[in-house]
Amino acid sequence: MEPYELTLAEAADKIKAKELSPVELTASVLARIEAVEDKITAFATVTADLATKAAKQAEEEIAAGAYRGPLHGIPVGIKDLYDTAGVATTSSSKVRADYVPTQDSAVVERLDAAGAVMVGKTHTHEFAYGAVTPTTRNPWDLDRVPGGSSGGSGAAVAAGECSVGMGSDTGGSIRIPASVCGTVGLKPTYGRVSRRGVASLSWSLDHVGPLTRTVRDAALVMDAIAGYDRADPASVDVPVPDFAASLDAGVAGLTIGVPVNYYTERVDPEVAAAVSTAIDVLVEQGAQVREVEIPLPEYILPTEWGIMLPEASAYHQEMLRDKADLYTDEVRLYLEVGELVLATDYIKALRVRTLIQQRWRDLFESIDVLIAPTLTTPALRADQPEVTWPDGSTESATDTYVRFSAPANVTGLPSLSVPCGFNASGLPIGMQILGRPFAETTLLAAGQAYESATGWAKLAPLP
């Protein structure tokens, strides 16, 4: 096994035991990038020289007895929305082609303090406004999309081009690429992880979090990045648990809510079957199932778009006036439409979101977690990014992918996507586990219980 094939946890154990050096691991990852990047194009920028220098520093620190923890010497890819001092942060857009920040984003600061090694900036759908990431391809099938908007991070982690990919999630942008690329993706509770220094899509819906190969890896990253930051107005000052410590708690006695509506409508039969089988695995380990009805389902997507469209347009207003010709047609159209949303409609959407949040709070009084498909379908073809349903209706990739992921953004609840199988074409399928506010440890324990009982995390695309 080559070093780049190791999970974060496996690599960390070897680095700590001095069986593997950060320099060896980083060199292996950079060689992997060189070998497959021309097929995948996951990176906007590869920072090979900086990574080699950081890996050498980590090696020297560890040799001197100054081991910082599990992320010390671990290669990470940073979504190109995150500010990185001295390294271009383009948001995968010509609008910011020349933008080089002078200060790191909060998460990058925390990763640097933990000793992580940045190997590059990963592609996003332009300004995170979409679910396809057209610059990038899916490592499981190069003719298909990697999801978005954190498609570069999802593809890079799946292909072994980094051990961790940082993403952001406004309508599903961590969980969508995690699902279609066969990785783990965690959208924490709104306010759990600081968004300072990350280009915004929608202030009141944005979240940041990790994409990793395993649930344990996600917990280890959360241990490094979670915490209060007064510079982020949405940040919540709540205790930060040891996310990795309770991973093996199991699911005995856990009550799983299984939706009888919303997540059951216009969904690929293979996806539905895979998630149902995954729930059975957890039941075999002692979990209980309770059928539940998703409240106010007809308002979820109108609320998501009713908030996101005007907030995104407000963020981009000045840039759109000055550089409209530099945006892609798709994103410029979204931004122009957002300009037409009335202030009264935006305020109504905010009020409806409060009602949805209250009803979901009631829903979780009788369950510990809600389990549903992460997405309606596996990865769609890049040359035909839409799905046609048996009733004749069609949905674009963005519309169909956001449909199942948006509830966690509208409510702000934590949601974990874990691989739960493959369809007949060999494409990954994801299951999402949603929980109560700041109950990431419960989600991670459930995900770990499922992952440990199955072999999906051991499979990888591309030779």
Give me the catalytic one of 153, 168, 173, 415.
Answer: 173
Instruction: Check if 16 is active-site.
Output: no
Among the listed residues 21, 92, 105, 149, the single catalytic one is 149
Q: Which of the following is catalytic: 79, 163, 405, 415?
A: 79
Instruction: Please compute, for residue 33, the number of CA atoms within 13 A of its CA located in the half-sphere on the CB side.
Output: 30
d(CA 216, CA 222): 10
CB of 183 closer than 8 Å to CB of 177: yes
The question of whether 173 is a catalytic residue gets the answer: yes
C-alpha angle 24-30-35 in degrees, rounded to nearest 5: 125
DSSP 8-state code for residue 213: S
CA distance 415 to 418: 10
Give the tokens for residue 247: 């991973």
Contact predicate 127/138, CB 8 Å = no
Cα of first residue to Cα of last residue in the chain, in angstroms, is 12
Report how far residue 439's alpha carbon sits from residue 189's, in angstroms, rounded to the nearest whole number: 8
Active site residue 93: no
- Strand 255-259 to 369-373 pairing: parallel
- d(CA 222, CA 431) in angstroms, rounded, equals 20
Four-CA torsion 380, 206, 103, 43, nearest 10 degrees: 0
Query: For 288, phi and psi rounded to 5 degrees?
Result: -110, 150
Annotated catalytic residues are 79, 149, 173
